């Protein structure tokens, strides 16, 4: 038994533990979102979290990550929310008010 083989064994164990699952405990959202869309945005986002994940990282749909959403303009984001995108992103026009959409846009831009 050499030190080298111990190190190798440890390395293998380390690899087995890979996968980087964010062990997110179901903690309440960090204290009072300041600025536009604080509470309303959070409330509206509950309808999105099932697919987009509580932190906007994608949840059950890897393609639904919102962490990079700042690359889009507000108008582009609004268009996606109103009209949907791809096969799984529903259109929300008529189901959310202008105000709710504006609030949720501000909310998802903070991810
Ligand atoms: C039924 C699942 C589902 C729900 C509910 C849902 N989405 Fe999505 N959303 C998706 C998927 C899947 C995509 C990725 C679509 C694609 O790129 O093909 C997406 C894409 C998006 C995008 C574009 C992301 C990007 O980077 O291009 C935005 C913005 C978005 N969703 C916002 C919302 C908001 C806001 C809500 C709640 C009002 C919501 N979604 C609810 C599944 C969902």
For ligand 1, the distance from its centroid to the CA atom of residue 74, given in whole angstroms, is 14
State the closest ligand 1 atom to the C-alpha of 108, by its place in the atom list counted from 1: 35
What are the residue ranges spanned by the domains of the chain?
34-111
Position 37 scores a pLDDT of: 45
CA distance 90 to 75: 17
Bridge partner list, 89: 85
For ligand 1, the distance from its centroid to the CA atom of residue 19, given in whole angstroms, is 24
69 lines ligand 1 (CB under 6 A): yes
Q: Tell which CATH architecture fits domain 34-111.
A: Orthogonal Bundle (1.10)
Q: Tens digit of pLDDT for each residue in 54-105?
A: 999 998 788 899 999 999 999 999 999 999 999 999 999 999 999 999 999 9
46 lines ligand 1 (CB under 6 A): no
Position 4 scores a pLDDT of: 56
CA distance 32 to 6: 49
CA distance 8 to 50: 41
């Amino acid at each position: 038994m050499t030190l080298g083989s111990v190190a190798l064994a440890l390395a293998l164990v380390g690899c087995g533990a890979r996968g980087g699952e964010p062990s997110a405990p179901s903690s309440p959202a960090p204290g009072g979102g300041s600025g536009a869309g604080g509470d309303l945005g959070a409330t509206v986002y509950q309808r999105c979290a099932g697919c987009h994940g509580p932190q906007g990282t994608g949840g059950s749909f890897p393609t639904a990550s919102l962490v990079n959403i700042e690359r889009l303009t507000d108008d582009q984001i609004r268009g996606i929310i109103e009209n949907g995108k791809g096969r799984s992103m529903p259109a929300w026009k008529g189901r959310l008010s202008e105000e709710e959409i504006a609030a949720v846009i501000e909310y998802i831009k903070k991810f």
